[in-house]
């Protein structure tokens, strides 16, 4: 399916019973909707799964300028409106986690809960001049490495299992270096965006034990402690793409979380 925007069409799919609760899956930088295929297979008999490609990724429109992080919550709401869904639980990996948080902050009444995979908390802290300089210079550094080698290095640093690494590398290759740079520049916006208060929605924070960068695990612990309604789970044998590296354990944790959401408790 296509969701029209002023920049082009976003690609999305909806799988599952029309009357079922909705799960919106948002992938991270360099990936695409197919990273959630194991989750769709597991949940689509009981939930309505919406998977989509961010701009510059997969089958969505190509970027001609830096990725606009702040436009994504509106697009999620547009897709939910298009399928007639009033609320959803947001599942986001890495950059997708930050998009989920920002969406919940802007549209709190339309979000049931948040599941963060390899993500970090949106903060109100500003980047230092040095950090801002390094982010701007990264594309120049990246150009010094051949594209194939560049994408391979990313895939082995973020995923653990061979299948997950292969998928990561293939997704990046389809995306291309120029689109990746547009997304990278747009990421600066997300790091300085922040939200003013901790998320009050039910929150599941999931990371792989081999998270990269490793400091995300320490940040996850702090995020969990600062959030009033959260749970932190570290998955064995998994990396940044924990849902792909350890799909069975991941799906079980998510299933448990979903069954504990307030609306599910009222149904039981």
| Cis, bond preceding 177 (omega within 30 deg of 0) | no
Residues 6+ apart with CB under 8 A from 217: 207, 211, 234
The 8 Å CB, 24+ separation contacts for 221-230 are 222/121, 223/120, 223/121, 226/121, 226/198, 227/121, 227/198, 227/199, 227/203, 228/198, 228/200, 229/199, 229/200, 229/201, 229/202, 229/203, 230/199, 230/202, 230/203, 230/204, 230/205
Tell me which DSSP letter residue 70 carries: G
Question: Alpha-carbon dihedral of residues 181, 104, 219, 129, nearest 10 degrees?
Answer: 50
Q: What is the model's pLDDT at position 264?
A: 63
Q: What are phi and psi of 112, to 5 degrees?
A: -85, -40
How many other CB atoms are found less than 10 A from the CB of residue 185?
17
Which pTM value belongs to this model?
Answer: 0.93
Beta bridge partners of 141: none
Asked if 204 contacts 113 with a C-beta cutoff of 8 angstroms, the reply is yes
Parallel/antiparallel/unpaired status of strands 48-52 and 9-15: antiparallel
What is the structure's pLDDT at 89?
A: 98
Sign of CA dihedral 118, 121, 124, 125: negative
Residue 145 confidence (pLDDT)? 79
Domains of the chain: 2-266 (3.40.50.1820)
pLDDT of residue 29: 95
193 by DSSP, 3-state: which? Answer: helix
How are beta strands 22-26 and 9-15 bridged, if at all? Answer: unpaired
Residue 13, SS3 per DSSP: strand
Taking a C-beta distance cutoff of 8 angstroms, is the pair 90, 110 a contact? no
Structure letter (DSSP) for residue 176: -
pLDDT at residue 135, rounded to an integer: 67
What is the spatial distance between Cα 117 and Cα 21, in angstroms, rounded to a whole number?
A: 20
> What tens-digit pLDDT sequence spans the chain (268 residues)?
999 999 999 999 999 999 999 999 999 999 999 999 999 999 999 999 999 999 999 999 999 998 998 899 999 999 999 999 999 999 999 999 999 999 999 999 999 999 999 999 887 556 667 666 666 667 666 777 788 998 999 999 999 999 999 999 999 999 999 999 899 888 877 766 767 777 889 999 999 999 998 999 999 999 999 998 999 999 999 999 999 999 999 999 999 999 999 876 666 5
Contact predicate 233/261, CB 8 Å: no
């Amino acid at each position: 399916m296509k969701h029209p925007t002023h920049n082009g069409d976003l690609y999305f799919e909806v799988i599952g019973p029309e009357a079922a609760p909705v799960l919106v899956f948002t992938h991270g930088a360099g990936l695409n909707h197919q990273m959630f295929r194991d989750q769709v297979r597991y949940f689509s008999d009981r939930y309505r799964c919406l998977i989509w490609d961010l701009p510059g990724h997969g089958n969505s429109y190509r970027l001609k300028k830096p990725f606009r992080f702040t436009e994504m919550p509106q697009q999620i709401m547009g897709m939910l409106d298009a399928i007639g869904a009033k609320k959803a639980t947001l599942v986001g990996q890495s950059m997708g986690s930050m998009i989920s948080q920002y969406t919940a902050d802007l549209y709190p009444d339309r979000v049931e809960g948040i599941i963060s995979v390899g993500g970090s908390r949106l903060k109100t802290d500003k980047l230092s001049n040095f950090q801002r300089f390094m982010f701007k210079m990264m594309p120049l550094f990246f150009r010094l490495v051949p594209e194939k080698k560049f994408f391979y290095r990313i895939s082995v640093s973020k995923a653990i299992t061979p299948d997950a690494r292969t998928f990561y590398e293939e997704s990046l290759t389809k995306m291309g270096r120029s689109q990746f740079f547009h997304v990278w520049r747009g990421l600066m916006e997300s790091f300085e965006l922040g939200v003013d208060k901790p998320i009050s929605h039910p929150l599941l924070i999931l990371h792989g034990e081999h998270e990269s960068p490793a400091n995300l695990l320490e940040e996850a612990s702090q995020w969990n402690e600062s959030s009033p309604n959260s749970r932190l789970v570290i998955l064995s044998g998994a990396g940044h793409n924990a849902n792909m590296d350890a799909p069975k354990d991941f799906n079980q944790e998510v299933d448990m979380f979903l069954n504990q959401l307030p609306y599910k408790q009222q149904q039981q």
